[in-house]
Amino acid sequence: MDSCFHSFQFIISGECDPVPLEEEKVTPPCGKVKQKEVLATPWHCNKERHTYFCSAALKKVKALPLYLIATILQKIRPTSAGLKYLAVCDSESSRLAAAASEGRVIGRLLCWEKGRYPQHSPASSSNPSVYPSVCPFFKTSFIWRDLVCFYRVKMASSFARILSSKRKVGILSLVGAGSLTVGFFLNREQHVNAGAHVRRIYPPSAEYPDLRKHNNCMASHLSPAVYAKLCNKTTPNGYTLDEAIQTGVDNPGHPFIKTVGMVAGDEESYEVFADLFNPVIKERHNGYDPCNMKHPTDLDSSKIRGGQFDEKYVLSSRVRTGRSIRGLSLPPACTRAERREVEKVVVDALAGLKGDLAGKYYSLTQMTEQEQQQLIDDHFLFDKPVSPLLTCAGMARDWPDARGIWHNNEKTFLVWINEEDHTRVISMEKGGNMRRVFERFCKGLQEVERLIQEKGWEFMWNERLGYILTCPSNLGTGLRAGVHVTLPRLSKDARFPKILDNLRLQKRGTGGVDTAAVGNTFDISNLDRLGQSEVQLVQTVIDGVNYLIECEKKLERGQDIKIPAPISQFK
């Protein structure tokens, strides 16, 4: 049997509300539709998968987060690669793509784009059926877009992102519901079998790992049934369950410290292996349930109250997070070419930063001895990971290819490229001005996002999980905001751990995670990552550290301190 179209991946994704389609289908206002108008879903895909055809009678699909409506013009023929990327493009892009043999048009989508009146004239000689139609009442326009099948993710990404940044695009979107829906289809689960050639001689029971001595979140939730269900699945890029859990199998964990024990190889891992990721996320993030909760993102630093600490106690302030570039695999699975692409995209964007954010990139493969020494002295340099948690997940492959450090001239804004995530963004300074640190953090992040969007890229983000990063522990905000603070008296008080707990803070040594405190100086930061916004978490740290300083002052004066009431977790 011919091999065929094994799976495809839409480069664009977006929010979507379930849509009752049959009542509210919109017919194109003008022109004739040459082929039958169809609705395509995975369940209706032809067995031989030569055509992706559709059923007109699509029922209400409340449970389905995304859907696609397409008019298929021609069969999709297989290529040797077996993987394809579909993207929604404007006519210009699709023409360019076809001219460059990067992709071909396989269908058309009738889109509804709110808030814009197309300026250009509708038809071009090569693509006569593209015509915008204006609906003045709703201030929208109907426009036919091309559904283009690309052979290379890079090209698909470049072209398709032009549309994705417009969050107000609907495909045959609902007239009545009044909300904006973006209906794109991300082919997941049932059709993610890019791994058709998975070599399986042994049944899942023979392959199931021995987790009896293990103490990590993955081991707690990977039952033989879950393993059997997921072990033959792959993401569109070919990432498998075994790869996702390898780090947890190789590192049984510690009786006192419960590590996560699994990683994502790409954005789709969180979907394809949701049956395992969701309970792990819920356990790690103290009850946040990805199935029915939404994560708020808020990078408006003007909402912060206070934020200037007493510098007698607070030595330095720092906020860090990570960002991943959509369309490129994550460090456990990325190929050398993808990693180099991440470096290129991010470095290009960072080069566009101006003012107090302007800076320079130091590639690990090309930095001079002098530069290296300077970075070490500034405590900026990161090394090849030695932690088996990271090396077993494959994050140190090809070191130091495509890794590097960027920082601004003032050394207060720092970006690590291709370490544990695509990027780690750090804003820091000596002293207690957390407010300014966070302002710079937000400004820098938003600038970088704008710069990559200009080139057609975007960050991995969705409403359920917030910003997508390699380790599930960093989902949501991926934010750790903290201070180095001296608390000589408070740290010796027996109530210190409980106070921290109730304030939803954690302490670490001044060397970072898994280090001990030196003297009486602690690294105090937020405990949570997912379920609260950046602003909320930073405010928590500000309020919390202020309280700790108050406690320390009280103890200095010989007064007694109180354990504060526990603050609520999901606001």
Partner 1 sequence: MPFGNTHNNFKLNFSADEEFPDLTLHNNHMAKVLTKEMYAKLRDKQTPTGFTLDDVIQTGVDNPGHPFIMTVGCVAGDEESYDVFKDLFDPVISDRHGGYKATDKHKTDLNFENLKGGDDLDPNYVLSSRVRTGRSIKGYALPPHNSRGERRAVEKLSVEALNSLDGEFKGKYYPLKSMTDAEQEQLITDHFLFDKPVSPLLLAAGMARDWPDARGIWHNENKTFLVWVNEEDHLRVISMQQGGNMKEVFRRFCVGLQRIEEIFKKHNHGFMWNEHLGFVLTCPSNLGTGLRGGVHVKLPKLSTHAKFEEILTRLRLQKRGTGGVDTASVGGVFDISNADRIGSSEVEQVQCVVDGVKLMIEMEKKLEKGESIDSMIPAQK
Residues at the interface with partner 1 (CB under 8 A): 80-83, 151-154, 194-203, 206-210, 213, 234, 236-240, 242-243, 246, 249-250, 333, 335-338, 340-341, 365, 391-392, 396-399, 401
How many degrees, rounded to 5, is the angle at CA 533 between CA 532 and CA 536? 85
Residue 139 or 336 having the CB closest to partner 1: 336
User: Tokens 């048009």 belong to which residue?
Assistant: 105
Least distance to partner 1 from the beta carbon of 467, Å? 24
Which residues have a Cβ under 8 Å from the Cβ of 481 and sit 6 or more positions away?
318, 319, 320, 434, 438, 525, 526, 537, 538, 541
Q: Is 320 annotated as a binding residue?
A: yes
Q: Is 167 annotated as a binding residue?
A: no
How many degrees, rounded to 5, is the angle at CA 475 between CA 508 and CA 289? 110
Strand partners, 134: 141
Residue 226 or 304 having the CB closest to partner 1: 226
Q: Is 318 annotated as a binding residue?
A: yes
Alpha helices in 231-308 (DSSP H): 241-250, 269-272, 274-284
> What is the token pair recorded at 111?
């889109």
Least distance to partner 1 from the beta carbon of 423, Å? 20
Least distance to partner 1 from the beta carbon of 327, Å? 12
Least distance to partner 1 from the beta carbon of 230, Å? 13
Residue 332 or 478 having the CB closest to partner 1: 332
Give dist(CA 486, CA 189) in Å, integer. Answer: 50
Give dist(CA 234, CA 57) in Å, integer. Answer: 30
DSSP state of 70: E
Q: Is 480 annotated as a binding residue?
A: yes
Least distance to partner 1 from the beta carbon of 390, Å? 12
Give dist(CA 433, CA 540) in Å, integer. Answer: 15
Say how many C-beta atoms besides its own lie within 10 A of residue 81's C-beta.
10
Strands (E), 290-364: 314-323, 359-363
Residue 336 or 360 having the CB closest to partner 1: 336
Q: Is 197 annotated as a binding residue?
A: no
Q: Is 212 annotated as a binding residue?
A: no
Residue 186 or 530 having the CB closest to partner 1: 186
Q: Is 484 annotated as a binding residue?
A: yes
Least distance to partner 1 from the beta carbon of 229, Å? 16
Least distance to partner 1 from the beta carbon of 79, Å? 10
Nearest of 386, 393, 428, 389 to residue 407 by alpha carbon: 428
Which residues have a Cβ under 8 Å from the Cβ of 466 and sit 6 or more positions away?
295, 297, 475, 476, 477, 478, 530
Alpha helices in 152-191 (DSSP H): 153-164
Q: Is 504 annotated as a binding residue?
A: no
Least distance to partner 1 from the beta carbon of 451, Å? 23
Q: Is 512 annotated as a binding residue?
A: yes
Q: Is 319 annotated as a binding residue?
A: yes
Strands (E), 126-235: 133-135, 140-150, 169-171
In angstroms, the first-to-last Cα distance of the chain is 55
Residue 340 or 489 having the CB closest to partner 1: 340
Least distance to partner 1 from the beta carbon of 397, Å? 6
Q: Is 513 annotated as a binding residue?
A: yes
Q: Is the peptide bond before 400 cis (omega within 30 degrees of 0)?
A: yes
Residue 250 or 298 having the CB closest to partner 1: 250
Strand partners, 486: 521
Residue 148 or 485 having the CB closest to partner 1: 148
Q: Which three-class secondary structure state does DSSP give residue 235?
A: coil
Give dist(CA 31, CA 126) in Å, integer. Answer: 16
Residue 242 or 311 having the CB closest to partner 1: 242
Residues annotated in a binding site for ATP: 316-320, 379, 424, 480-484, 508-513
Residues annotated in a binding site: 316-320, 379, 424, 480-484, 508-513
